[in-house]
């Protein structure tokens, strides 16, 4: 799980932030912060996943992937990242997990 200090309160995320990446499953928005570390927030609406169990498991998946990404990122490029899940996801099987991780990897290369 991602440390609480690395989680972004999504209500405080700037609406003027630019979209860095748009993939099959997700979009990544980025905005600079002056904190010296990057933070991550995940948004999944009820239209995307009806059950809270599924929304939380997808959120955990993204946070676990971002934890490994943020371990090496402690430099000057401190940004707030907002991951917005776009496409309806019915289950979190290995195929969906790999597709989400692939989209995250592609999106983080663009930063």
Question: Residue 86: which of 47, 36, 32 has the closest Cα?
Answer: 47
Report in angstroms the alpha-carbon separations of 107 from 37, 54, 69, 81. 19, 23, 12, 11
pLDDT of residue 29: 93
The pTM of the full predicted model, rounded to 2 decimals, is 0.88
Q: 4-109 belongs to which CATH class? A: alpha beta
Q: Summarize pLDDT for 78-99 with one digit per residue, the tens.
A: 889 999 999 887 777 888 889 8
Annotate 18-36 with DSSP letters as a single string.
EEEEE-SSEEEEEEE-SSS
Q: Which residues lie below 8 Å from residue 12, measured CB to CB, with a gap of 6+? A: none
Hey, what are 54's tokens? 């599924």
């Amino acid at each position: 799980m991602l440390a609480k200090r690395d989680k972004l309160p999504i209500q405080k995320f700037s609406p003027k932030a630019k979209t860095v990446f748009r993939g099959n499953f997700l979009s990544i928005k980025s905005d600079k912060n002056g904190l010296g570390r990057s933070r991550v927030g995940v948004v999944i609406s009820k239209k995307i996943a009806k059950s809270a169990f599924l929304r939380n498991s997808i959120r955990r998946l993204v946070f676990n992937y971002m934890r490994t990404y943020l371990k090496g990122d402690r430099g000057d490029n401190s940004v707030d990242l907002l991951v917005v899940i776009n496409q309806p996801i019915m289950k979190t099987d290995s195929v969906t997990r790999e597709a989400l991780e692939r989209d995250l990897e592609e999106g983080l290369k663009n930063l």
